[in-house]
Amino acid sequence: MTARAWRLLLLAALGLGTLVACPPPSVIGRPCGADADCVLAGMVCLSGRCAEFVDSPPGEGEGEGEGEGEGEGEGEGEGEGEGEVPDVPQTCAHVHALNPAAPSGPYALDLDRNGALDDRNSDGTVTDAGDGIYCNMDIAGGGWINVAFMDHDRIVADGCPSGLVLEDYDDTDGFIGCRRGSTAAGAISIWASTYYPYREVMGRVVAVGFGASEAFKDQPAIPETGIDNQYVDGVSITVGETRQHLFTYAAAHPSDPAGACPCSGGPAPPGFVGDAYACEAEPTEVDEVPPAFGPSDRLWLDLVGVCAPSFTDTPHFVAAVGALTEDYIELRLMNDEPDEDIVVTGLELYVR
């Protein structure tokens, strides 16, 4: 079966919002075999790359921001002329183009592009509730289709993507989330399959810090200048195998100027990051011996105290990819010292 056939077959049964942490990266996320097969059980070939699927329909994001950004979504039809909008919507951008007043929420779509809305749950009736894919119509022009989602309730229900460590301090400190959990410096990746051709990515990350991170400060003897290196204490978001940079979330030291955010006199980000970053200082309780969590101030939850040159009125980033692509989106949780970590408590990713 071809990669496209696998994709359409799976879309008929599964919702969007797929996340998979992929250790070892040499197996999961690698290109499919000649017969569209994958090495590990539970892996399927999607868009030419091995991926694992977890049904994760989106709900309301943690502290979701509101407001209008720049940029209008344009309909993209695979196999159709660019900009043409089919009468039966195939993407959230099509829904928005057909009805600019359409609200955010689940929508039934023509996933197999046969001119009819698809009954994804096979109950004989096409309904938004049972067959819908979540569309964000409120931010940056609307028309965004959700491809990855994590929040408190989702983590409670499904746990963390494989390879990440669950931290459950819900009863004592009011948070539950996923982190690397390593005792050494390093990074771990999470991949999100996108299903649709897209030109733009929108998203946000919310986290709790652990230990005193130092944003873009370089550590001696650790390569930190390239996109493949541990160039930030935080989260790196990229596209495809070449790791085209989309956005970086940085956690800064609560008191040391050498590890502060760029807006507070700290080191500038690498050139490939540019202004596409959000940096926030952790609360003072992380700077203890032994290292501690900092739940009193969620990182990047809103715009308060955040150094983010490209943000306007919402804590979501919007990044242009350039040429139309179906490549996967990669999130890397990284730190360059063993006593630092990031606990992701909320995540949203959309494409358009």
Q: 3-state DSSP: the chain helix, strand, coil percent, rounded to 5?
A: 10, 30, 60
Instruction: Give residue 48's pLDDT.
Output: 52
Interatomic CA distance for residues 161 and 184, integer angstroms = 20
Q: Which two tokens stand for residue 162?
A: 């494989």
Contact of 254 with 281, CB cutoff 8 Å: yes
pLDDT at 34: 53
pLDDT tens-digit readout, 242-265: 999 999 999 999 999 999 999 999
Share of the chain above pLDDT 90, in %: 57
Q: Using one digit for the tens of pLDDT, what is the confidence trace for 158-200?
A: 999 888 999 999 999 999 999 998 878 889 999 998 878 899 9
Domain segments of the chain: what residues? Answer: 3-52, 147-351
Question: pTM for the whole thing?
Answer: 0.78
Q: Mean pLDDT of all residues in the chain?
A: 80
pLDDT-based confidence at residue 39 (cuts at 50, 70, 90): very low
Provide the pLDDT confidence category of residue 15 given band limits of 50, 70 and 90.
very low
Question: Is the pLDDT assigned to residue 6 strictly greater than 50?
Answer: no
Which pLDDT belongs to residue 124? Answer: 80
The phi and psi torsions of 131 (rounded to 5 degrees) equal -125, 5
Residue 67 has pLDDT above 50, yes or no: no
Q: Which residues contact 273 (CB under 8 A, 6 or more apart)?
A: 231, 232, 245, 248
Q: What are phi and psi of 155, to 5 degrees?
A: -70, -40
Alpha-carbon gap, residue 227 to 217, rounded angstroms: 15
| Residue 352: per-residue pLDDT | 95
pLDDT band at 336 (very low <50, low <70, confident <90, very high): confident
pLDDT, residue 334, reads 93
pLDDT digits (tens, 9 = 90+) for 184-195: 888 999 999 887
Conformation bin of residue 143: beta by default, left when phi > 0, alpha when psi is -120 to 50: left
Q: For the chain, what is the radius of gyration of the CA atoms?
A: 20
Tell me what the mean pLDDT of segment 127-131 comes to: 77
- pLDDT confidence of residue 36: 52
pLDDT band of residue 32 (cuts 50, 70, 90) is: low
Query: In whole angstroms, how far apart are CA 133 and each of 10, 199, 206?
Result: 14, 19, 23
